[in-house]
Amino acid sequence: MSVLETYEKHDPGQPVARVIGGACIMAVVLFAALGPLMVPGDPFAQSLMKALAGPEAAAPLGYDHLGRSVYHRLAQALRLSPLIALASVATAGTAGLLLWGRWRRRGAGGSTAS
């Protein structure tokens, strides 16, 4: 099957799904980058008087059981999570490349004789 035959048989809904998926990813990235700037505040500040309170201008997603703004905590977590993911992928990739190179030099059978 050639590339052109494969392209002709694609699902017509696929481009729409890609656009929607890309828009969702961009929304998350923009929220991570601009979220703390839009509503500045301390994600660790507590106010037990506001515990489990609903949304308001200062906290668009409401408050948790300790009175902390869920919006601020979510924005803070979104800034940190991609860095942790990138570090774990880089670590695993480096270890994999080092081990694969050693395995490749030995050969698939594990023999050290060349």
Cα–Cα nearest to 45, from 32, 58, 30 = 58
Q: How far apart are CA 17 and CA 70, in angstroms?
A: 30
Domain range annotation of the chain: 3-106
Tell me if residue 63 falls in helix, strand or coil: strand
Question: Looking at per-residue confidence, does 103 or 99 come out higher?
Answer: 99
Question: Looking at per-residue confidence, does 102 or 16 come out higher?
Answer: 16
Terminus-to-terminus CA distance in the chain, angstroms?
Answer: 39
Strand partners, 69: 63
Q: What is the pLDDT of residues 33-86, one digit of tens each?
A: 887 787 788 889 999 999 999 999 888 899 999 999 998 898 888 888 888 999
By the 8 A CB rule, do 66 and 46 touch? yes
Q: What is the pLDDT of residues 2-23, one digit of tens each?
A: 665 666 666 666 788 889 999 9
Task: Supply the pLDDT for residue 57.
Answer: 87
Q: Can you read off the two tokens belonging to residue 89?
A: 């992928």
Q: Can you read off the two tokens belonging to residue 8?
A: 């002709």
